[in-house]
Amino acid sequence: MAYPLQPSRALLHPVWLTSLGVLALNDHLLKGADLLPAALTGKLSDVAGMLVAPLLLAALLRVRRFGSWVACHLAVGAVFAAIQISPAAADAWSVAMGALGFPWVITRDLGDLVVLPILALSLWGFVPAMRRPARANARRSAELGAATAGLLCCVATSSPDEEWDPEPLDEPQDLPSDDEGGQELPAFDADVYLSNATAQDQVLRIRALRADVAIDCETVAESPGTLLRSSLFEPAQTWTLPANTNIPVVDHLGGERPCYAAWIEADGLLPIIAMWRDGDPWMSRVEGQGQLGLPGELLLRGSAEALTLDGRDGLLHPMREVDPPVEGSCATQPDGDRVGWSTPVPWGAATVAAVESGVDGCLAIDLARGADQPDTWYLCVPARSFPFVAGDEVELRLVGSAPGQTTFVDAIEIVALDDGLPQALPSMIISAGNGLPSTSGLELGTLPLYSCEASSEPVCGTVERPVSLVLGGEGLPAAEVEAARGTVQVAGEGRLVDVTLMHAQERFVVDPECAMGPVELGLDLELVVTQRAPLGG
């Protein structure tokens, strides 16, 4: 199976980590220590940077296509070449980094361009690691740590205290001033903005909701402060906001997404979430100074030791992370209980040569075809759900969605064969997706558990509510299955039907970078359905 690129998965690659270590050691210890020649320390950082920067940029932009991966390398190479060749480009880069709070001193050297071919090693060398299947959530924390370290090293590769004789700008650049001699801030367009109504400069940290996070605005708006986890937001932008000045909370254009959210905090202000719908409040022209009283105004009041943030009803929600129930029907359903199988799937007819249960909860199934050596296929389902034994002839088939559904279902059906002909029993279906599989002789449906409130899963921040599965069919009594109840068995018309619901949720917030299962909002269903003859039948 070909996986889309996931740059974050290569942040733990030994080559990338080694390059990051070289970059940090060289820039913060070796440079200026007279331990190595200056020409060597200069080139070490350049070589390491060509390996660190493109992958870090791709991870921050969450690229998924190879063309975007190539574009990240072209961008890094173009910026590096520009600041070595052009004094104006070097000056502009230094000014830009200084404005972001990371003063950057550049020593231009055309000889540094010899390291550009290193980009080719990054372009091709990290691709296999980026296409690995998703691993455990613990890996996500390590990737985030590596990305953070890489960002800090990349924005701090030189010190403003180093000796530097920059070429002067053509003309001094003076900011306009207001009548009182202070800096005049320009007007901007915003729907929600923050106004510093205190008498002092205030340092604020604002984190916008990540662009790739899918969100059901209607459900989340009922309690954003308890449903939106910190992992769903971008890294903080830090602002020093002078007294009586204004900034937009989220810089965006109207219609970019159905709703917007931002995490706001300061040293004297507990974290608070601002959330609003697109068009409510409406976009307005906001002056850079003064309290204007517009519908989207958030007023920062108090002092640095005790700040408050006030706004229109429904805009602000104190942050209060609440863990979901750990037991019962409303409990979070762990990702470790999901179904799974190895690829490629050995489609077609085969003989079961052996079945072994592994310590990881998966079955190792040896499938023989003719005189060839059996192939081992791994299937992660409860062992009791597998109705076949060594010597059984079976056929593996691809199953689609139930009729009338427009959802995606990835499902496998295994049926018994007798003299090469399919038999009604035993059979099993393993299904994962945001819909239900097509099943012969069974009718399946879902029912939300309205007694459970939507809750936020702590690891990936998925906002979810459990659903149950309802089933019936000719000669079968109706039954309801919940993921917390394990396997449910119904009998009728000469067959036993076992249904194991591994995962059954309706999802209202999904972080596709972290969460397993479908990346779209809506149902997340994983189940195993086994049909067999009754004992003695």
In the chain the first and final C-alpha atoms are separated, in Å, by 41
pLDDT for 263 equals 96
pLDDT for 510 equals 95
The length of the chain, given as a count of residues:
537
Provide the residue ranges of all domains of the chain, joining segments of one domain with +. Answer: 7-154, 188-318, 396-532
CA 424, 429, 430 angle in degrees (round to 5)? 165
Taking only Cα atoms into account, the Rg of the chain, rounded to an integer number of angstroms, comes to 29
| Contact (CB, 8 A) for 239 and 206 | yes
Confidence band (pLDDT; 50, 70, 90) for 33? low
Those residues with Cβ within 8 angstroms of residue 358's Cβ, 6 or more apart along the chain or in another chain? 364, 378
Rounded to whole angstroms, the Cα distance separating 79 from 158 reads 16
Rounded to whole angstroms, the Cα distance separating 264 from 266 reads 7
Helix (H) or strand (E) holding 52: helix 38-61
For 136: left if phi > 0, alpha if psi spans -120 to 50, otherwise beta; the answer is beta
pLDDT for 309 equals 95
**Which 3-state string (H, E, C) describes 102-120?**
CCCCCCCCHHHHHHCCHHH
Please check whether the domain covering 188-318 is classified as CATH 2.60.40: yes
Confidence band (pLDDT; 50, 70, 90) for 431? very high
3-state secondary structure of 324: coil
Q: Is the pLDDT of residue 164 over 80?
A: no
Region 448-470: what's the mean pLDDT? Answer: 92
Confidence band (pLDDT; 50, 70, 90) for 303? confident
Q: Is the pLDDT of residue 231 over 50?
A: yes
Closest CA to 47 of 107, 98, 120, 108: 120
Rounded to whole angstroms, the Cα distance separating 149 from 152 reads 5
For the beta carbon of residue 305, count every other beta carbon within 10 angstroms. 7
The DSSP result for 232-266, as a single string, is: GBPPPEEEEE-TTBEEESS---TTSSSEEEEEEEE
pTM across the whole model: 0.64
| Contact (CB, 8 A) for 524 and 504 | yes
pLDDT for 23 equals 82
pLDDT for 353 equals 95
Those residues with Cβ within 8 angstroms of residue 288's Cβ, 6 or more apart along the chain or in another chain? 184, 185, 186, 187, 188, 245, 246
The residue whose two tokens read 């991870």 is 59
Those residues with Cβ within 8 angstroms of residue 129's Cβ, 6 or more apart along the chain or in another chain? 9, 10, 13
205, with CB counted inside 10 A (0-12, 13-18, 19+), is middle
Confidence band (pLDDT; 50, 70, 90) for 184? low
User: Among 156-160, 339-343, 513-517, whose mean pLDDT is lowest?
Assistant: 156-160
**Percent of all residues in the chain with a pLDDT value above 70, rounded to a whole number:** 82
3-state secondary structure of 222: coil
Confidence band (pLDDT; 50, 70, 90) for 173? very low
For the beta carbon of residue 318, count every other beta carbon within 10 angstroms. 12
Confidence band (pLDDT; 50, 70, 90) for 149? low
Structure tokens at 76: 């890094």
Confidence band (pLDDT; 50, 70, 90) for 535? confident
Q: Is the pLDDT of residue 363 over 90?
A: yes
Confidence band (pLDDT; 50, 70, 90) for 14? confident
CA 140, 527, 337 angle in degrees (round to 5)? 35
Confidence band (pLDDT; 50, 70, 90) for 1? very low
Region 83-100: what's the mean pLDDT? Answer: 69
Q: Is the pLDDT of residue 145 over 70?
A: no
Rounded to whole angstroms, the Cα distance separating 92 from 106 reads 11
pLDDT for 46 equals 85
3-state secondary structure of 184: coil
- 242-284 pLDDT per residue, tens: 999 999 999 998 889 999 999 999 988 999 999 999 999 999 9
For 370: left if phi > 0, alpha if psi spans -120 to 50, otherwise beta; the answer is left
Rounded to whole angstroms, the Cα distance separating 516 from 298 reads 36
Region 216-235: what's the mean pLDDT? Answer: 94
User: Among 135-149, 286-300, 445-459, 496-510, whose mean pLDDT is lowest?
Assistant: 135-149
Confidence band (pLDDT; 50, 70, 90) for 198? very high
Rounded to whole angstroms, the Cα distance separating 519 from 239 reads 33
Paired sense of beta strands 363-368 and 306-310, if any: unpaired
Q: Is the pLDDT of residue 111 over 50?
A: yes
| Contact (CB, 8 A) for 391 and 345 | no
| Contact (CB, 8 A) for 440 and 531 | no
pLDDT for 86 equals 80
Closest CA to 424 of 328, 340, 316, 496: 496
157 to 106, 111, 251, 290: CA distances (angstroms): 9, 18, 29, 39
